[in-house]
Amino acid sequence: MEKGKKIIDKAGRIFGTSGTRNGAYSVGLTVIVLAVVIVFNLIVGQIPEAYRNIDVSSTKIYDISDTSRDLLKDLDKEVDMTVLAVKDETDERIVTFISKYAALSNRIHVEWVDPVLHPSALTEYDTSEDTIVVSCEETGKTTTVSFSDILVMDTYSYYYYGTTSYTEFDGEGQLTSAVNYVTSETEKTIYQSTGHGESTLSSTITDLMDKNSYTLSEVNLLMSDSVPDDCDLFLMYAPTADLTEEETEMLGTYLDGGGKVMILFGEAGAAELPNLEALLEEYGIGAVEGYIADPARCYQNNYYYIFPELSVSGDMAAGISSEMVLLINVHGLELIDPARDTITTSEFMSSSDQAYAVTETSQEQGRYTIGAVAVESTGGEESDTTDSSDTEAEESASESEEGTDEILESRLTVISGASMIDQQITDTFTTLENTTLFMNAVTANFEGVQNLSIEPKSLSIEYNTMQHTGVFGLLGVFGIPAAVVIGGFVVWFRRRKR
């Protein structure tokens, strides 16, 4: 009995020490913390996947723009997204983005189908695995988005070094384009002219047009007797040879009938293409000889690399925030009196008033137009302003019983610098808004159509660099570590003296 009492007393003295009490307190606190963490994880596990992942990446690949949010907010049709892939083996970035995107609308329904367990699904949808099938039953439209279009692989590294890495993430652009395509019942066809030494549109621009569901075709007016009937926009990109008189007449007739024409001039400006220049003058846009140099709005003292002033509003201003657009070696334009009072001409890009039109023999200072739009309404009551006789009006009425009162709006868009969408510029200066403004100018030709072409996000590593080292650089490299070491030594020395 006495022995047992001694053991109990001894145990009491052991557990009664301050060290034991502190240890017990630490164990208890640890248990409580673990319990809180477990409960917290259980609670978080019940939160939908779309809200559990926080984007802390420098490239913000999960950020969804207002353009896509507005589209999904106004979505009035049910959209099915069938993901033909093994979810557990799919790149986490794709899984996360799909869930975040679908969470923005209750009309988007996502279903993952394992093609290994259900191989017939690939035959049913006539596609391959690692593909998202986007469909809308109401419109009957279906399209597919491949994972390789979302995560764009660096083919150079793969083929030359055998390493797999990715350069771009295009989740938002691909899914928004697909949703817009399957839910929209309107399709637009753009014809690009050929036969005049035109340049080829870059893959960056054609990809953006594909995302907006624009069909891009080619036409040579020398081989046609008119602009194609299904042409919604006639595009000339950097022509180096002039139109013939017959082609100019075709374009004039097309515009008179409510057509839409867009011209981007390259090294050969409008002043060197007399027939095209005459067409522009009819719509109140004159050509200025020489290249525009702008010391007040230039890139790093390169006077011919200019940032024009923008005057955009409405659809033309969509997505424009920095108003930074870079053009190289542009020719000048000027607004003049159009041939008819029914034509209204306005500019949306211009140089500063400190600019010069430079030729081999002169330098003329002034403010020059770089981008302009001419609009004309024809038909209906507007037709009374023309010189047509009553007989011609009666003949026109007999040809179309319902077209006499219809008001047609023609639109001529002119940009004096084709470098605006040159791939060397758009891919080098990715923060500029060249492509956004260009696509806005294209989309402005179509009534009720919004520019939904969203560029991919770069996955390139971003480095934090110091442009000016000096005192702050030395402080960051040597000062802070030295302060930490000295502070630690002081604390250690004081405790040692105790």
Mean pLDDT of the chain: 83
The whole-number pLDDT of residue 80 equals 96
Give the type of residue at 119: P
The whole-number pLDDT of residue 50 equals 47
The whole-number pLDDT of residue 239 equals 95
What number is the average pLDDT over the span 416-432?
A: 90
Under the banding of pLDDT at 50, 70 and 90, the label for residue 440 is very high
Task: Give the separation between CA 207 and CA 201, rounded to whole angstroms.
Answer: 10
Closest-CA residue to 287 (of 306, 304, 272, 267): 272
HSE of 55 in the Cβ direction (CA atoms, 13 Å)? 12
The whole-number pLDDT of residue 4 equals 56
**Residue carrying structure tokens 């400190």:** 354
More confident residue, 468 or 269: 269
| 336: its two tokens | 């003049």
Under the banding of pLDDT at 50, 70 and 90, the label for residue 486 is confident
Task: Give the separation between CA 444 and CA 262, rounded to whole angstroms.
Answer: 11
The whole-number pLDDT of residue 150 equals 93
Checking if the pLDDT of 462 tops 60, the result is no
The whole-number pLDDT of residue 315 equals 84
Checking if the pLDDT of 250 tops 90, the result is yes
Element (H, E) at 376: strand 369-378
The whole-number pLDDT of residue 59 equals 61
The whole-number pLDDT of residue 403 equals 45
What number is the average pLDDT over the span 164-177?
A: 89
Under the banding of pLDDT at 50, 70 and 90, the label for residue 388 is very low
Task: Give the separation between CA 199 and CA 204, rounded to whole angstroms.
Answer: 14
Task: Give the separation between CA 8 and CA 135, rounded to whole angstroms.
Answer: 77
Task: Give the separation between CA 215 and CA 85, rounded to whole angstroms.
Answer: 30
86: burial class by Cβ within 10 Å (0-12, 13-18, 19+)? middle
Tens of pLDDT, residue by residue over 6-63, are 555 555 555 555 555 555 656 666 777 777 767 666 665 555 554 455 554 556 789 9
Tens of pLDDT, residue by residue over 78-134, are 999 999 999 999 999 999 999 999 999 999 999 999 999 999 999 999 999 999 999
Distance of CA 135 to the CA centre of its chain: 23
**Number of neighbours of residue 286 by Cβ within 10 angstroms:** 17
Percent of the chain exceeding pLDDT 90 equals: 58
Under the banding of pLDDT at 50, 70 and 90, the label for residue 310 is very high
Q: Which runs of E-coded beta strand occur in 200-354?
A: 214-219, 233-237, 260-264, 285-293, 298-299, 302-306, 309-310, 327-328, 331-335, 343-350
Checking if the pLDDT of 392 tops 50, the result is no
Tens of pLDDT, residue by residue over 257-267, are 999 999 999 98
The whole-number pLDDT of residue 463 equals 38
- Longest Cα–Cα distance in the chain: 134
